[in-house]
Amino acid sequence: MPSSPTPSPTPEPSGVRRRSLLGAAAAAPVLASLAGAGSASAAPAAAGPAGGPRALPGGGDLGPNVIVFDPSTANIQGRLDEIFKQQESAQFGTGRYALLFKPGTYSGLNAQLGFYTSIAGLGLSPDDTTINGDVTVDAGWFDGNATQNFWRSAENLALVPVSGTNRWAVSQAAPFRRMHVRGGLNLAPDGYGWASGGYIADSRIDGTVGPYSQQQWYTRDSSVGGWLNAVWNMVFSGVEGAPAQSFPEPPYTTLETTPVSREKPFLYLDGDEYRVFLPEKRTDARGVSWGNGTPRGTSLPLTQFYVARPADSAATLNQALEEGLHLLLTPGIYHLDRTVEVNRAGTVVLGLGYATLIPDNGVTALKVADVDGVRLAGFLVDAGPVNSATLLEVGPEGASADHSANPTTVQDVFVRIGGAGPGKATTSLVVNSRHTIVDHTWVWRADHGDGVGWETNRADYGVVVNGDDVLITGLFVEHFNKYDVQWNGERGRTVFFQNEKAYDAPDQAAIQNGSIKGYAAYKVGDDVAEHEGWGLGSYCYYNVNPSIVQHHGFAAPNRSGVRFHGLLVVSLGGNGQYECVINDTGSPTSGTDTVPSKVVQYP
């Protein structure tokens, strides 16, 4: 593909990424437990673990990097522009911001979002907060290439775009959740340069979604007025108006419903008091959770949260958890000299503005006990310079409790090794607890930035799933030295997977896996009897040594209970090649044309 595709009504570019070089059915009213909950200030002071008063306070100010607007705020546009100017190209900077809009109507705004910037409404429904204007992500900072537009989000707003179409040209780790666009949505940058997103959930787009140059995308439990085109891999589950199943051409993988889902917790205002809403679990969901206004679920007053600041130590965070508080991580960077331990069922750890946890001295950043209903959401884990055996663990080794009624959810929790500086971790995310739902993650061993090199930011495994009955919706894992995903648990399910193998392997020997050429991007354990995946893609770009051959993108036991739908592998510009797609099945990639090799069903 040319480096600057010619714009057209339905362009279908599919070019090489080369980041390092080129840069529900209608919902019922809210539950009685919410309706009668009262305000945060009226909530009684909860007791500590021994029945006495807590030593740490709940609630409080949200800190300097949470910026709250209401319709009467003066010069909102000027403040938005100031933050965007600071964050536009600060890919590995330290700034973190949450831009929160109180319910009401705002006009004439264009909120351009840079790195580590989240924008959200503070109503129970997206329609409570309407912006007559745009929430824009474009790629002018990177010469029209959107493949590095990471780490930003939009949530819980209604938009009336000025031109009729809102632009959201993102790649990984940039969720678009609980949004109502009263118009169309354009997922490509101005000029239709490359883009490699992305994720939409619980959103209603009244008009057409135009991916244009987007290489892949996952949309869950939403409603769209239409979908324009596909490049490599477009996956839908529970989406009203989604294209019909048609993989391999066009490459649409469409599930009528999402097997299990529970929307991400979010901050909202009840009068003048902040609360955190906890959406309820849905089974076989289709469409948005807020169809008739308020969603189903419960809520907690902010007084039941320890409102953490970046200067807080891991000991303080653990003390808050031990005293029965939840955690609200305000924007900033938190250094942890010990593991944050979540041991209580139902605990919520919610980050704002891409709050970032960095484990020091090789510790694990966060561990969850084998308990019901923990919710982790909205934060980034950044590996430290001393190797961590793991960065995030959901359940201890050998966890076996049944959590089907109230699973743990991990949503918009992202992991990074290197890029912002030297970082190492043997395994990034380990899921041991049964029935865990991981809903949108990007686990990334950096291919550009600081502290990058085959051994410099060594990270052998991205995601390891040992627990049974785990579901992942929206799985992005890239560039690990060995297996990007290794799945050992039974009855695992993945809806959408996007992967690139590590760019920087020095030679064939460096990736050799016994007698097999290269480690699969997605490996199902040899003893697994049941597993299923829909819409999975793996790409190679061995730019350090283009002669490297990868035998396959996917490896799994060849038995009837292990099934895949819609698989593809791509060699980006001929920098390395795949011999097969899964196991020994599927045509090899060849040449420099960047054309996917596909397998419709396996076995």
Cβ neighbours, 10 Å, residue 47: 12
Dihedral over Cα of 352, 354, 439, 196: its sign: positive
For the chain, the farthest-separated pair of C-alpha atoms sits apart, in whole angstroms, at 70
**What is the spatial order of strands in the sheet that 297-301 belongs to?**
266-270, 273-279, 297-301
- Spatial neighbors of 41 by CB under 8 A, at least 6 apart, are 273, 303
| Alpha carbons 31 and 313: distance in angstroms, whole number | 36
Query: Could you tell me which residues come within 8 angstroms of residue 527 by beta carbon, excluding any fewer than 6 positions away?
Result: 488, 557
| Length of the chain in terms of residues written | 603
Q: Is 500 a catalytic residue?
A: yes
> Which amino acid, 446?
A
List of residues 6+ apart from 42 with CB closer than 8 A: none
b/e per residue, 176-210, with b = 16+ CB within 10 A? bbbbbbbbbbbbbbebbbbbbbbbbbbbbbbbbbb
Report the DSSP pairing between strands 266-270 and 273-279.
Answer: antiparallel
Strands 348-359 and 326-329: parallel
Q: How far apart are CA 218 and CA 196, in angstroms?
A: 11
CA–CA distance, 424 with 390 (Å, rounded to integer): 10
HSE at residue 526, side-chain half, CA atoms within 13 A, is: 0
**CA–CA distance, 97 with 86 (Å, rounded to integer):** 11
- Among candidate residues 256, 500, 532, 579, the one labeled active-site is 500
| Cβ count within 10 A of residue 14 | 18
Q: Are 130 and 161 in contact (CB under 8 A)?
A: no
C-alpha to C-alpha distance for 276 and 315, rounded to whole angstroms: 24
CA distances from 430 to 97, 366, 398 (A): 28, 11, 12
Query: Nearest Cα to 500, choosing from 479, 472, 517, 481?
Result: 479
Print burial letters for 335-348: b (CB count within 10 Å at least 16), e (below 16).
Answer: bbebbbbbebeebb
- DSSP per residue, 364-399: -SEEE-S-S--EEEEEEEE--SSPEEEEEEES-TT-
Active site residues: 500
